[in-house]
Structure 1
Amino acid sequence: MPAARQIFVAVIGAGGVGKAFLSQLSQLTKRLSSEPSTPINLALIYVARSSKVFFNEDYSPISISSWESDLASSTRTVPSPTQIADYLSKAPASVILVDNTSNEDVANAYPLFLGKKISVVTPNKKGFSSNLKLWQDIFKAASNGTGSGGYVFHESTVGAGLPVLSTLKDLIETGDEIVKIEGVFSGTMSFLFNSFMPVGGGGGSFSAEVTKAKELGYTEPDPRDDLNGLDVARKLTILARISGLEIESPASFPVQSLIPNELESCKSGDEFMKRLPEFDGEMDKLKQEAAKEGKVVRFVGSIDVAEKDVKVGLEKFDASHPIAALKGSDNIISFYTKRYGSNPLIIQGAGAGGDATAMGVTADLIKVLRLLL
């Protein structure tokens, strides 16, 4: 049996997605180490949460079975992204950094990591949807961009584990022409509007459905972080940039917020939720208007590539439309292209959740492994 190739893995973010990823990493490590032709020794050398970090100065591996207790007992000061990059760049084997956070400081450091030949895989949208210069700097540094640094993959920034970005890239790289991208890009908004206005009628008041979504864990702790539309806008920014549009930021196109103007000044999420029922009448009116037209209301994002038009907000759909027929918290993304004509290529499925998101991250890790080996 040939000698195993050594690859190191560093993980930042060990919460919901991070835990699920580390569980998948444990299974992957066992499988790769027993590959008869090209065994790979995948070793965890760094694991961190926002206030805790554990690693060994000599790069000796951390046991994946005991990382939680090792991290809990650690008294190390959490390093800055620059210090992390310095530590990982001196490792005696190639390093893949897995960023499972939504931390902006870590995302801003991606060009630094990549320039030091540290590969990055992540579901963190901040690096790919903030200012255009950061996006450009990331791919100028990356070997799968125009640089000679580490590799970068971020499939899970849009659609969790759904193959959204890889499908879009395949369409473009095989010579297809993207005409339009449209869909429901938020599991939270999908669940909320499928409950608020189901096909066939019914549904509770808007505030009641937001409360239900929050209680079931479908929203952020403060639902305003979902209702402001920024999460969907970030995903649209990423897709538009891959499609060739130089979108400066998620604030550079129309994004409809579902937070009533009068509630913008609420000091807390609890205050917002307490006052939200005052504005149910506006959403009920919208529901009734759509019902009279035989349609339903959904919160969608769309990119018209030819017109360079990107927007996020409420739209009405016939009950027979695939977007209207969504269930639960599913996402649906439709690619209208020259090759596919009037019948779009549709990707649909769970667009949120720790296990599904971690699956996309793990798949990206495997892509990097193939490139490194």
Structure 2
Amino acid sequence: MINRIEMVNIIKKHPSLIRSGLTFKYLQKEQCNSHFDMICFSNHSSENVYIFYEPEVNDGSIGAFISFIGRSFHSDQLSNIIVCATDFHSDYLRGLQLFGVKTCELSYAQVLQYLHVHDLSLYDRYEHLQQRLQQEDVNKSKASVVEKRQAIENESEAFSQWLLSADLNASWGPYSLLVSTKAKRTTQLSGKEREFQLYHNDQLVYEGKIVIGREEEGLHRSCMMIVYIWSTINMADNQSLEDSIALTLPLNTFIQRCSDQLVTRELLNILSLSDREKEKIMIILERWGIPDYFPLKVEDLSPEQLQTFMKVIVSIALLKQAALGKFNRKLIKKKKKSPKRQLEYGSYEAK
């Protein structure tokens, strides 16, 4: 990197890096209890302009600077004082500006860019630094991607645990959803599953299950949600369990896309249906009172958000299977009301 002495010499030679129209007058090294180098310039009005340079500003240097300014300067001189640093935390920038002190964050990249245009001979001395800075930018970018992916994985894991343990009972339109209170282990995705029943006007018409598990992708893990649903009355002939898979939702991708809200149409876009079928589903969802979008903050989930999520997921799963002809379209004869399995599914009343 460019060391402290070299940076001060560059500022002396090229003060326009910080402010135009300055002429170097003198340098006082290690002022403010050996923290800042004070470089004095004159401007067009023959006023002194003081640039205080420190590579990295911290609590100690800021305290020493304020003490030095209080002893050595008058209030009417504050407008001609500039604190310059290579690394400036936003809190220090804001604090100095509140006191009326101007600040300048001067990165190595900015200095090299300036020298490349205005002083090639000096730039050649630090050209090797340009490659190093570029590599550091690449490394920072990679680290940022890794951190973001890790955060999404953690949020997906947390969301999965909510789906496996929370009360997911809900009701909407003509339907009431009862979800088993306990999750059971399953070989699928090496995960767990929860069974559910879907009642239409008190008649049990559909059953299904949600499977939550993981897929390993090298060093990374992706949480998956699979929704099965089948008719208890008019299942199509020769329909297997695999035919009952209505949705396969990669939770990592879902979490990344939904941010602070879930958009119902985003879920429809993952379905292998025609645009016409999707529009039909949207019309039916609207008729059932399913919102186009709703808040969904994984870090601060509420029971209402989870229940709305289940309404959307189960409704889309049901309508997708119907659109694909997984249920026979013959008239369903009215049956006796089906008793609710209290021990497995808890209270029928959805919250």
Query: Could you tell me the TM-score, scaled by structure 2's length?
Result: 0.24
> Higher helix proportion, which one?
2
Query: Could you tell me the TM-score, scaled by structure 1's length?
Result: 0.23
* Relative contact order, higher structure (CA 8 A, sep 6+): 1
Which is higher, the Rg of structure 1 or of structure 2?
Answer: 2
> Higher strand proportion, which one?
2
